[in-house]
Amino acid sequence: MQNKDINLTMIMDLYELTMSNGIFENDMRDAVTYFDMFFRRVPDDGGYAIMAGLEQLIEYMNTLEFSNEDIEYLRNLKLFSEDFLNYLRNFKFTCDVWAVPEGTVIFPHEPIVTVRGPAIQALLLETMLLLTINHQSLIATKANRIVRAADGRPVMEFGARRAHGYGAAYYGARAAIIGGCTGTSCLLTAKDFGVPASGTMAHSWVQLFDDEYTAFKTYAEQYPDSCMLLVDTYNVLKSGIPNAIKVFDEVLKPLGKRPVGIRIDSGDITYITKRARKMLDEAGYSDCKICISNSLDEYLIRDMIFQGARVDSYGVGERLITASSEAVFGGVYKLAAVEKNGEIIPKIKISENPSKITLPGVKIPWRLYDRETGKAIADVITLGYEKISSDEPYELFDPDHTWKRKIVSDFIAKKLQIKIFEKGKQIYTSPSVREISKYRAEQVESLWDEVTRFENPHTYYVDLSEDLWELRHNLLNSLS
């Protein structure tokens, strides 16, 4: 949360400090390292993910400071030397950091955050870096799936009460806006990030009154300019909509006001909304919107649209804010290289599981766009010294099936990462959440429809340069 009184430095795993203590005691604290954050698969077997959470990571890096209370706690663990504790007491962040901007479409295995700096400093970032980027990227990705399923109809994030804690509610709502939601019910998020606050009424409002009509009438009198009535407390078609229409006629019409809409939170949504639309139209309220909620996700929304449900907007809660269909983003943070005497020594992690073998060395992720259509052709990960020129043809090849090759031309090559910190000083200013959301929309639009479909999306190619492929191949052969 954006509370300057809370010191989040100690949100880290114990092993980050035990390893750092060992590094310190073995005179390796100034060893320059390169760490990459990347993820291995897209949630829900989707075609792409959305980068989010960078602003909060920047805040963390800017406020890294061990308090006296922190030092005393660590001393009592009896794991750390006094010299190391003194180092922590005087800790100063001096790393270089590159990252993919929030809202960018991202794919497995490409570095989305890269940290260069002293080994201890880079190690201490791991937990907060991962939890921040993993959480918000997960929610932004899920939100975008739901928004795309709604096919242009507004989606409001309604999930605060179902989130896994207030931090998840607060930042999850931010990520949902990045993903494409038009507003959030979480007032603190709306206030702090300057995004629309959304909400109607609860069933308890209707139950508080002697009857449904009086509840609706009182609400309409109180909020004539933003009157949206929840019509399913008792019976949508027999009482809810008739009472709503009566209130529209008796309260709003004499004031020259029009109702914003009705909300339905239960029942057979497709059937009920068809009937509701007919009743409202016949009463002269064809402009009255129908909003639905009730444990929605992208599949339910898509099916209801296919079945002809008459819905104008959606309020989506628990399945968005918890990403219930796949609750883990799976980003990892791995050592890629060590710098000694000006020489960069690549490092690789080998696993029996091929998907867990890391990419060694200092790397740059690129995206190639077709110059005519603006569509993304492929991503390419190169070593740091390599350049991809938009003025020359470039040969892509499948890193797993190297005989599959394609020469592309007439493209624009763009680096995906930008520099965020230089020697511990922030040199990047985060855009507003609304600006990030607009950028995200442009990013998704750059993908071919085959990549964005829900079922069996086309695999977007993330290729390696020849030099990077050879480096990985040679290291695998030398270490296996």
Mean pLDDT by 10 residues, the chain (480 residues): 72 97 92 96 97 97 96 97 97 97 98 97 97 98 98 96 95 98 97 94 96 98 97 97 98 97 95 97 98 94 96 96 94 96 93 89 98 97 96 93 93 98 98 98 97 94 96 90
Predicted pLDDT at 3 = 52
Predicted pLDDT at 69 = 96
Predicted pLDDT at 1 = 56
Predicted pLDDT at 11 = 95
CATH topology of domain 14-139+327-479: nicotinate phosphoribosyltransferase (3.20.140)
Predicted pLDDT at 6 = 78
> In the chain, where does the domain assigned CATH 3.20.140.10 lie?
14-139+327-479
Is the CATH code 3.20.20.70 the one for domain 143-319?
Answer: yes
Predicted pLDDT at 61 = 97
pTM: 0.96
Sign of the Cα pseudo-torsion (36, 41, 44, 48, in order): positive
d(CA 250, CA 283): 13
d(CA 291, CA 203): 15
Pick from 313, 393, 331: which is nearest to 109 by CA?
331
Predicted pLDDT at 228 = 97
> In the chain, where does the domain assigned CATH 3.20.20.70 lie?
143-319
